[in-house]
Structure 1
């Protein structure tokens, strides 16, 4: 029988804009004597067959493809099954598929955040249209949302898909539900940020393998800026890190981001609960990308995580 080959790390990817991120992973791991296997549309079936035959294995698996490409799903489901049903699993998935699915449901996260006293917008959750066509809230509840409010599907919001900003009428709610008829919908109050030294106090915070990285993130321009230690201290923004840690305790993901807003009354409100598939385009390549140094920091944390557990 042909001997089995083992890689330290495997990454499945299918989005062309992940290319620079994957190249960073390859370089960082190579410099630390860790091997990386890239899984793409051209080899996923072959690799899956080799794994099932015992000819190939890897110690860690990062899946950035199966959520968008069905051809990767058999591999991802097989690896999850092996991981969950082995007393001593050889391979550990980063962000296991079952945890991803749980974290991606904004309605579920909303209720779990409330249970953990994580501040969230006032929200009305309504059933999928195909389960119940009538809307399930009172005029009093709708009035409490204020105007304008936000309409978002619970599970179909990657990149803002299906989100209606600035909604004001019942008709907009009725119309929005037609686009994703099997999904729950969240109606949320609009949270307004305070301004700090001319900046909107809107933040994206990365949780990367135990490292918490807060960034300024302008919700209007979508431009990132690093949050300096000095600004974090002088503006009393330490709560950003605490909340990200609390969110990790809820979702249990290894790598995710969240959006937080500081309001005029100094509430820190989580407005985009768990972004389980972080956009890692580089700011040097695209204006609204993540600062290169932050992407490199995330890759370094990923490498250290893999190295410790290899």
Structure 2
């Protein structure tokens, strides 16, 4: 008989260790079984899954884009009935910023004024007019549509056509977004800028500063006083578009009280704890996310919604 685990998580970032530990604790607290996939057991895991003597109900991939070993494991698991928290096809779709921008507009989700530029290798010249640049206003933001991490090829304070020309050569096969820089309203001394987490139907908004990258919990009083209910409504619309079950997004409240999605879909959320890292996520938020995972899997398993032990 195959060994069965309700949740398997692939991870390779050392700073994920605290999150993985909390998630495992919550899974066990709900009388479910947890399986960790890291560098030391990728080969064994792939071999056993392929052979059929290791079965997972649900798989959370936090390392599939790290190296070929994790990619191989993910591909093998994908051939089984295992439920993926964020299915690879949905991730590919959701992490294309140009695609998300257009689909958000169609869905009625407010986004910054944006120009989408053809990849450099398809067109060397920049198809921009002076009126386009004037509408963007300076400074504006330049970012590749599909490449994330490290900030390479992106500029948060672009000023000129020269900035656009130079930036798009960093990732020559990628589309680029030229985006209006959103200036948030100040809400009782804080920037009206939020990172909102979504996990299996639960939305958790946090204060987040786009300059310092510092988080803070939102109190119930603040939520009501500043009319922040649209944060939840917007994120649920984003879920309908991206089809991911665990992601985060950034939303800013402008001076004219518009809720603008400024960074679309982050499929691998940074879960470092604030108690351990000054710019980490509030511990309570991380715990709530872990608890939501466990409760969802427990309920879904009981209702026969997920693969079960043979």
Normalised-by-shorter TM-score class: over 0.9
Q: What residue in structure 1 maps to residue 21 of structure 2?
A: 23
Cα RMSD (Å) of the superposition?
1.1
1:94 maps to which residue? 85
Give 1:81 deviation, angstroms.
Answer: 4.0
Partner of 2:208: 217
Aligned 8 A contact 1:77 1:97 in 2:
no
The answer as to 2:195 corresponding to 1:204 is yes
Q: Which residue matches 2:304?
A: none
Distance, in Å, in 2 between the alignment partners of 1:159 and 1:223 is: 18
The reply to whether residue 60 of structure 1 matches residue 54 of structure 2 is no
The answer as to whether partners of 2:200 and 2:246 remain within 8 angstroms in 1 is: yes
Structure number with the bigger relative contact order (C-alpha 8 A, sep ≥ 6) is 2
Which position in structure 2 is the counterpart of 1:181? Answer: 172
Kept in 1: contact 2:153–2:168 (CA 8 A) = no
Q: 1:47 maps to what in 2?
A: 45
Residue 288 of structure 2 is matched in structure 1 by 297
Check 1:159–1:266 CA distance in 2 against 1; reply closer, same or farther (3 A cut).
farther
Report the equivalent of 1:85: none
Pairing partner for 2:105 from 102, 114, 120: 114
Which of 131, 144, 158 matches 2:122?
131
Shift, 1:161, TM fit: 4.3
Q: Is the 8 A contact 1:259 1:271 kept in 2?
A: yes
Aligned partner of residue 39 in structure 2, secondary structure: coil
The whole-number CA distance in structure 1 between the counterparts of 2:129 and 2:9 is: 47
Contact 1:126 1:136 in 2 (8 A): yes
1:294 aligned counterpart, secondary structure: helix
1:95 is paired with a residue of what secondary structure?
coil
CA contact (8 A) 2:26 2:291 kept: yes
Paired with 2:76 and 2:22, the residues of 1 have a C-alpha distance of 27
Determine the structure 1 residue equivalent to 2:2. Answer: 4
**Segment drifting more, 69-78 vs 195-204:** 69-78
Give the 4+ runs in structure 1 shifted more than 4 A: none
Aligned partner of residue 43 in structure 1, secondary structure: helix
Q: Secondary structure at the match of 1:158?
A: coil
Partners of 2:210 and 2:189 in 1: CA distance: 14
User: 5+ unaligned residues in a row in structure 1: which ranges?
Assistant: 83-88
> Structure 1 residues 285 and 32 mapped into 2: Cα distance closer, same or farther (>3 Å)?
same
User: 1: distance between equivalents of 2:18 and 2:214?
Assistant: 19
Q: Which residue of the other structure, out of 272, 278, 284, is the alignment partner of 1:281?
A: 272
- Output the CA distance in 2 between the equivalents of 1:105 and 1:145: 21
Following the alignment from structure 1 to structure 2, what is the Cα–Cα distance between the partners of residues 50 and 291?
37
